Amino acid sequence: MELATLRHSVSHIMAQAVKALWPETKLGIGPSIEDGFYYDFDKPTPFVPEDLEKIEAKMREIVKKNLKFERSEMKKPEALKLFKKMGETYKVDLIKDIPDEVVSIYKDGDFIDLCRGPHIESTGKIKAFKLLSIAGAYWHGIETNPMLQRIYGTAFDSDKELREYLNLIEEAKKRDHRVLGKQLEYFSMNEEVGPGLVLYHPKGAMLRTIIENYIKNEHIKRGYDLVIGPHIMKSDIWIRSGHYEYYKENMYIFKIEDQEYAIKPMNCPGHILVYKSKTRSYRDLPLRLFELGTVYRMEKSGVLHGLLRVRGFTQDDAHIFCLREQAEDEIVNVINFVIDTLNVFGFEDFSVEISTRPEKYIGNDEDWEAAQTALTNALAKRYITYQINEGEGAFYGPKIDIKLKDALKREWQCATIQCDFALPERFDLKYIGQDGKEYRPIMIHRVILGSLERFIGALIEHFAGALPLWLAPVQVIVIPISEKVTEYAEAVTRALREQELRVTLDSRNERLQKKVRDAEIEKIPYMVIVGEKEEAQRNLSIRSKAQGDIGKMTASDFVSMLKEEIKKKVR
């Protein structure tokens, strides 16, 4: 049995149960989705969590009856008449939008629903399901439409699969970067600042700085030149690039002295202008320009989600200007860069998609085909399999999306590689060829980590907040057993900091057990515990978050051990 069909059928039964319990409820839509299903309801009073248990109980009654799903077809006028009589105004709305003259209806028992199907044979075939949550959803996703109540659920072929999935959900809740980010004091969102805008606290700022320094150095090693552009630019440049026409609804636009400006949603026009600042020769190419560029996009408040979907974020953004014959090798180099970087940060698995030409685009079809061929050939050279994502490319070119998989095998959008013939044309980019004539370069847009905000969120959830030593904002905490050894603890702290380790001192007047417990909660990789014995012997008692008590060692040996772990980027 196909899982999507099963889940769609369970969604249908959920709607049937809701109508049985609250007949005045009007039905919206109820599709299967990646991890389950949902159904939208217009109910006069709000659902409460306790209602989910009532709905599940009613659903089990329907399953037990083993009612057959019966499909029939009906002409649109008849269907409109039927659902108007039933008071199902949202179904009437759906029927009006169906281009066909005939619509399909599904019935089980006395319940009738407008549905394309397919469904399973009967309700009795359903073995394992669970309702998960309640949320709000605008009808058709349009904010001016009525707000409906959406109930999410999931279903599987067996109780075992359902239990495994529910356990995964519980584990995901424990790893939620929004919860851990607050607990570990990494970042916060503040309504006084505005939704989707991140305030990094000292530990979060340190983590971000560690990541930025690593990725910046890697770019320099791989032949990229650093550039920095302004956060605002005149609207003229966005009109020329096409962003104004194709992306305006996502841009923040304002006026200064009668001149219109926009806060940049992308970094590419700035890099293009750097390229155009002087005459380029074929000997200059490929030219790789890199920027840790902060951009701002007008995301709807309903889609904002912690660090994963924000309005202001920083990308490890680069643009490669190259000859046509260099494009494939440059794309291969970027793919290698992505894989190497993911592995360093502890991500060993990923998936790949190629997104093709969208409905609205700039450039000509021939160049689009050439750009897509360059992407597919590069993946073929690395023997990487991929899926085609039809019509989801950028308006200026097709792209490769590389999605990392975390410890729970969830996918996170990470790197993007876009091959672009159109913007070089729009900005009249040129280089002087070997024959002294002018030619047009190709432009490759790419990010490795993607949004630093999203990547930090993924890191936190992947490691459940317990970051490896090289990434930990606080690597070591020094804990004196009593006030008698405070001076020794302070000397140890200074000595470790002089070795460029990130160290804090817990000199609170608290019991040792509480200090140790608090350090565990803060997920600090190493504790250095010092008492009168350690002071007398001039050594340290070491406790590792990963291994527990390690025993006593000298400060020199401890530093050597940590430096080796940091150098190897042990995970």
Task: List Cα–Cα distances, 404 to 34, 45, 214, 251, 455, in angstroms.
Answer: 17, 41, 19, 28, 10
Residue 486, by phi and psi: left (phi above 0), alpha (psi -120 to 50) or beta?
Answer: alpha
Tokens 């209602």, residue?
A: 51
Q: Which residues contact 411 (CB under 8 A, 6 or more apart)?
A: 351, 403, 404, 405
Of the candidates 363, 365, 465, which has an alpha carbon nearest to the alpha carbon of residue 420?
A: 363
DSSP, collapsed to helix, strand or coil, labels residue 40 as: strand
Helix (H, G, I), strand (E, B) or coil at 24: coil
CA–CA distance, 299 with 83 (Å, rounded to integer)? 36
- Where are any strands of DSSP class E within 54-190? 70-75, 102-108, 111-114, 128-138, 147-156, 187-189
**Residue 383, number of CB atoms within 10 A of its CB:** 6
Both tokens of residue 502?
A: 């990130």
Angle at 120 between CA 118 and CA 123, to 5 degrees: 130
- Residue tagged 């060692």 (tokens): 553
* Alpha-carbon span 361 to 339, nearest angstrom: 30
Are residues 412 and 406 in contact, defined by beta-carbon separation less than 8 angstroms?
yes
Reading the block at residue 312, the tokens are: 């202001």
Helix axis angle, 555-568 to 486-498, nearest 10°: 40
Active site residues: 268, 297, 315, 317, 319, 399, 445
CB 149, CB 27: distance < 8 Å: no
Helix axes 49-65, 3-21, angle to 10 degrees: 110
Q: How far apart, in whole angstroms, are the C-alpha atoms of residue 478 and residue 506?
A: 6
The candidate with the shortest Cα–Cα distance to 223, out of 290, 283, 282, 314, is 290
**Number of residues that this document lists for the chain:** 571
Q: Are 46 and 36 in contact (CB under 8 A)?
A: no
Question: Three-state DSSP class for 233?
Answer: strand
Q: Which of 295, 309, 300, 287 is nearest to 233 (CA)?
A: 295
DSSP string covering 505-537, please? E---SS-HHHHHHHHHHTT-SEEEEE-HHHHHH
What does the block give as tokens for 75? 């002409």
